[in-house]
Every structure is written in structure tokens, then in C-alpha cells.
Structure 1
Amino acid sequence: MSDNRLGLAGKFRYLAERARRIDIKSVAERAKEVHEQHGTWAPRAFADMLWSAARHDVAFQDYVDYDFAILTKDERATYMTHPVSMQLAARFAKKDKRVLFENKIEFNRVFDRFLKRDWLVVEAGNADAVQAFAERHGTIIAKVPVSHMGLGVRRYHAADVTDWAAFHRGLLERDELLLEEVIEQHADLAAVCPGTVNTTRVTAFFDGQDVHILAVAQKFGRGAVSDQMSYGGFYTMLHPEDGRAFGPGYDSHGHVHEKHPDTDFPIAAFRLPFFDDVKAFVKEVARVVPEVQYVGWDIVVTPEGPVLVEGNWGAGVYENKPSVTGIRTGHKPRYKAAIGF
């Protein structure tokens, strides 16, 4: 295996940038949140956050989300953090290939055979094609080509459109240039939240020969067009071996969901269907652009099996929350075993 150690120069640059942009008020607010959740003296939590960020690459929100205040040093060391993930992403994604993941239209062109759904690019002069596409599918998803955190995504119903020329013009003005057929999710996912297509985030690493599944998170929406937290969504971690939920769901805003708020489905009872197919599917898509090795793949399981939504070269981090699941270890050992950093 090649030397995949994270470079000290890159780490120092990252820490210097964080130090320059540090928001003391924000850190103090997070320390207060830690005190409210775990009873830790706020000044102690504040100091520990700063030390953990500088010495162990722990983002302030990671410290809160993963309950570092109640973990031992050895337990903390098992958790993947956003700063470490960002360093890995920068190291294992060739700059000239990142656009294939950053631009949703480019992504669809490259990964078209894995999408398994109809899609259309909105262009000047194709209002008739847009009308035909929308009327064929009834409900469609419109996306801004470059966006983050599920923003720039809207849902439209053909029956609501009375002026197709104006609708087409509006799509162009709002930069909603990618239209997609709505994915039909598996009944097991619809049982949890039928109003949102609930995605599975599979973080994987391609070492040039093998594809390693590092972590699997199941996201659930609240009926909106996206299951991201910015739309009220939350997640639970799934066991990488069999797709069973670790426990209840949670988000980065202090909300814990033993049951889905809208359907009363017990989140800990969830098990992702077609899980072996999902892992095989990711091991196939991860080889398409070998220059981008570390990716967070968003998958939806349909009645026929997995389909691809998008890939994120900045994979982000989804981790276990000890106070919710009772499990006091994270996924970092899996990352280290696969990547060798």
C-alpha cells in the first residue's frame, strides 16, 4: 500500500485557516450546549473543544454531535471527524476530476447508466421538451447544477403549470437546469417517510484495486423534497455488514427521534433492503472515476434495487452518537484500515 499519511503541511495550513476564522461566540454557544446535554462545566468544555480541534482535528460541531464530553481519550480516537475527512478528500480527488461530482449535469452524464431514471437539461428553446418531460412523469425534480446540502432542489407538478413558456423561463432564471424523474423508493423506506425519497449515504474508498465500504448512514426526510438536515431531515447509522440501524435517529440540532415524527416508525427497527446489492452497486460505481477515490455516494433503494442519486467527493462525516445508541465507538478504524493514514 502507498504511503497515505496526511501531510503535516496541509494540516498546518488547515489549522491556520481555522484559527483565522474562529468564532469564539459560536464555540461558547456549543460549550453551553454541551453543558445542557451532559452537565459538563461550560468553560471546561470550551477549553476542551479548542484543544481537541488543535491537537486531534475535531471540529467544534463534531465535539457536540458525537458526545465527546462523555467519551474517554481512546473512545474519541475511534471517531472520524470532518477536518480529517476534508484532508482525505483533498488528497484523494484529482482537481480536474472534481467537477464531475460538483456539477450535477456532468455527474449525470458520466454516471447515466447507474441513475436508472429519466432526466433532461433545460436549455434555451426547449420549452416543448420540458413540457413533454413534465407531463410524461407528472411530478418532476428540478436541481441547480452546483449546490450543497440539498439546497437548490425543488419539486414541481405538471398539473399546476398553466403557462409552459413562463415555467421554462422561470427554470432558466432560477438556474434550475436539471430535471429528473422522481425515484420510486422501496416500500420499506416509504414506510418510514413516504413524502420524501430517503437516501442512503455510503462512504467508500477505492484503493486502485478494491473498494472499501467505510460507513453507511440512512437519512430520513420529513416530507420535503430533500432529506437533508436543512429540510428537517435526520439520520441513523447502519451496520456496514448487514444494513441494520444502530439505533434511533438524530441530527446536528439536538433532535433525537426514536420514532419518525410523522409515521411513528421505530427507527432502531429499520433495516435497509437489498443491502448486499447496495454494497455491490457502490463497488461498481466507485470504479467509474478512479481519480476520485474517496466519495460519499447517495443511493436510493427502489423496489428493483439500488439507484444512484449523486456522489460527493467531499464525503463529509456521518457517525454514531453514543448518548442515543449506547455505542461509544466510531468508524475511524475502518477508514484507517482501508486508507492507511
Structure 2
Amino acid sequence: MNYLLYCIRRIDFKNWMRVSKNVAKRAHKPRALILLDMAQCGLRYQIGYNDYDWDDFYMLNHKQRKTMLSRGINNKIIAKYNNREFYKYFDDKGLFYKTYDEFLHRDWLDLRYADQEDLKKFIEKHSEFIVKPADGHGGADVEKLSASPEDANELYKKLLDKGQNLVEEIIVQHKEMGRLHPESVNTMRIFSFFDGEKGHIVQAVLKMGRHNAITDNFSGGGLYTFLDNDGVALYPATNSDGEIYEVHPQSGTDIVGFKVPFIKEAFKMVVKASAVTPEMKYIGWDVAVTEDGPVIVEGNNIPGVFEPRGRFLKGKPGCLVRYRKYMDI
């Protein structure tokens, strides 16, 4: 109820009217009926008007709607299963890297605890590298740089001034993953749940970048689709604007049927990682795939809400069915 009241207070009514108009046009239904249904779905399923649009809620019957993961339900899961005292292990990427180092399989440096000489030694080994803020989100301020050891002193100060205090080795992705979008490291968001004894894979999403972006973040224009248990893409990809792509708009690679290499190894790695901080039971792991196998990019203690578009479900249930296998929600 608190989340519902919070959402009501924050409603952008002008945007709600715009979204309802677009949905009514696609659904071939009166706008008044769509507005009424949006309001009812907000109360009944805790689904916001944007998610109503992105998830094609107007295409779903009541039985299906009950199985869709909403932001309200996702927030309840996080509040119930993730201990806030341990958020720091994920909010601070430097602390995350230290805690989960065995799963990273790459060199990294936290400039908050390293000096110019450490950076110089790092650059001697890696002339090209990635820099990012330890508290960054959504791919913001992530850059690919190149430097020589002689640049270390000046670069050290510059990076600290910009808050880009993490320096890490570039992940060279598997050539098959590069077929999707070679400019970015295309990852999976693998959702895990630790039940106190062992970890479980709840679902897996394939993400891919667009244009010249070096990250695949949804908030930065990236695309995503869903994977089955064998790592095969089930549906066309979509983006934050609701556009749908059966092939990648830049690379021309077919998305439906694309198979992620090393998927079983990736699932096994995530299950193991899920037990490291048992106080954080519900995590979304960003996992890249190299020629040698999977590597963890980062973990998300507040996993985003990913659901297949209603038009793809064709009568099948949404993600909550799998969530309820492991969680009491």
C-alpha cells in the first residue's frame, strides 16, 4: 500500500495521458477504457502505466496478469529478502569487486586505495582499459581509455577528480556474443535466489548494446530479450521505447534463436556467487561471456523488472510463476 500511494503521488498525468492515447490506438479500444483498465491494474496488480504499455497488459487476461512481475511486487521481494545492511557490497563496485573477485576473471584497481605507482603498473600490463565510478548506475560515466605508463600520475589525479575511481581490464567477449553488437560487451542479466542453503536461477535475460555505445544498458538505449534454460533467445528484442527487433538494427544478427555460449557454466557460476553474501538473497547478475567462459561484470541488489511483451506470451504465464517456485510471495 505504501508503494502504491508513493506511485500515485508521483504520477505524471500528462505522460499518462500520452501513453494511454498510444496504447488505445494500438489496442483499437476507446481511450477511456484503457485509462480505466490502467487504473484498475495499478490497484490490482501494482503495475504502472508505463509497464502496462511495455508489457502489453491490454493483451493479457486476468489469469496471465496475475503472473506478471510488477515493480510493486519486485519491491516487495527486495524488501523481504535483501538485508539493507548488506547493500554496500553491491552499491560500492569496489567493495563488490573485492568480495566477488574469484568470479571476475580480470585485473582491476580501486584508486581510492591505490596510488600512482599502482596505476602505472596496471597500465604497463593493460594499455587500454575501462574506467567507471564505484557508485555508478546505468552505465553512466563508463569510458574506455588508453594510456602509457608515463601518463599514470596525471591520469590518476584526473580520474579521481572525475570520480572514475575504478580501473579494470577490458573484457574481450566471445566472438559469438560480438556478433550481436561488437562495440559493446553484450551480457546476460541472470536473476538468482538463495534460499538459505543453495542458489536457484529464476530467469535470464540477454542484453545487447546499440549504435556506438560500449555498454548494453537498457537505460542507455540497449535491447533485451529472454533466454530459455539452454541459453536460446525466445523472443524478438525490445528497448525502452517499446520498439521491437527480430534482428539487431546495427549488426543484422538474428535475435530469435540466438544461442549464448557457456550458458550452463554461467548458471553454475551464478549459483555459487549467490551464496557468498547470504543476507542478499535476490540478485540480478550481469554476466559476460569470453572465449574461456563466463565472467561476472557486476551484481544488482535492486534487480530491474524484466517481463516478456504480452504479444510474445501467446497465452503462457509471466515470470512470477518461476519466482513463486522459490519465493514466498
TM-score range, shorter chain: over 0.9
Aligned to 1:209: 197
Structure 1 residue 292 displacement after superposition:
0.3
Match of 2:53 in 1: 64
Counterpart residue number, 1:91 = 80
Of 63, 74, 90, 2:63 maps to 74
The match for 2:107 among 115, 118, 124 is: 118
Is there any run of 5+ residues in structure 2 with no aligned partner, and where? none
Percent identity over paired residues: 32
Match of 2:95 in 1: 106
Alpha-carbon displacement from aligned partner over 1:106-133 (angstroms, at most 9, x marks no partner): 1001001111100001248823432432
* In 2, Cα distance between equivalents of 1:167 and 1:268: 43
Helix, strand or coil for the counterpart of 1:113?
helix
SS in 2 for 1:28: helix
Distance 2:231 2:280 in 1: 25
Aligned-pair distance for 1:175?
0.6
Deviation at 1:45, TM superposition (A): 1.6
Note closer, same or farther for the CA distance 1:125–1:23 as it changes in structure 2 (3 Å cut): same
Name the counterpart of 1:287.
275
In structure 2, the CA distance between the partners of 1:119 and 1:24, relative to structure 1 (3 Å rule), is same
Output the CA distance in 2 between the equivalents of 1:162 and 1:46: 62
User: Where does residue 277 of structure 1 map in the other structure?
Assistant: 265
1:50 is aligned to: 39
Match for 2:309 among 307, 321, 324?
A: 321
Cα distance, 1:141 vs structure 2: 1.0
Shift of residue 324, structure 1, vs aligned partner:
4.9
- Work out which of the residue numbers 138, 144, 164 in structure 1 matches 2:127: 138
Match status 1:307 vs 2:273: no
Q: Tell me which of 197, 214, 217 is aligned to 2:185.
A: 197
Note if contact 2:221-2:240 (Cα within 8 Å) is conserved in structure 1: no
In the TM superposition, what whole-angstrom CA distance separates every residue of 1:289-337 from its partner, at most 9, and x where no partner exists? 0000011111111111111111111111111113356565311111012
Aligned partner letter, 1:272: V
Please tell me whether residue 236 in structure 1 is matched to residue 236 in structure 2.
no
Q: What amino acid does structure 1 have at the position aligned with 2:305?
A: V
1:237 is aligned with what amino acid? F
Do 1:258 and 1:266's aligned partners in 2 also have CA atoms closer than 8 Å? yes
Seen in structure 2, the aligned counterparts of structure 1 residues 197 and 35 have a Cα distance that, compared at 3 Å, is same
Residues matched between the structures, number: 328
Give the distance between the partners of 1:142 and 1:37, measured in 2 at CA.
43
Quick one: distance in 1 between partners of 2:192 and 2:86?
17
Taking the TM superposition and a 5 Å limit, the aligned residue runs for 1:130-279 are: 130-158=119-147, 163-222=151-210, 223-239=212-228, 241-279=229-267
Once the two structures are overlaid, the 10-residue window that deviates more, 121-130 or 17-26, is 121-130
AA in 1 matched with 2:153: A
State the TM-score, normalizing by the size of structure 2. 0.94
Corresponding residue of 1:9: none
RMSD: 1.9
Q: 1:289 to 1:233 in 2, by over 3 A?
A: same
Residues 1:40 and 2:29 aligned together: yes
Mapped to 1, the partners of 2:218 and 2:189 lie a distance apart of 13
**Bigger CA drift: 209-218 or 39-48?**
39-48
Could you state the TM-score of these two structures normalised by the residue count of structure 1? 0.91
Gaps of 5+ in 1: 1-11
Q: 1:134 to 1:22 in 2, by over 3 A?
A: same
Deviation at 1:219, TM superposition (A): 0.1
Give the AA of the match of 2:63. D
Is the 1:282–1:297 contact (alpha carbons within 8 Å) kept by the matching residues of 2?
yes
SS of 2:240's partner is coil
Q: Distance in 1 between matches of 2:144 and 2:89?
A: 24
Contact kept, 8 Å, 1:202 with 1:217, in 2: the verdict is yes
Q: Distance in 2 between matches of 1:256 and 1:274?
A: 26
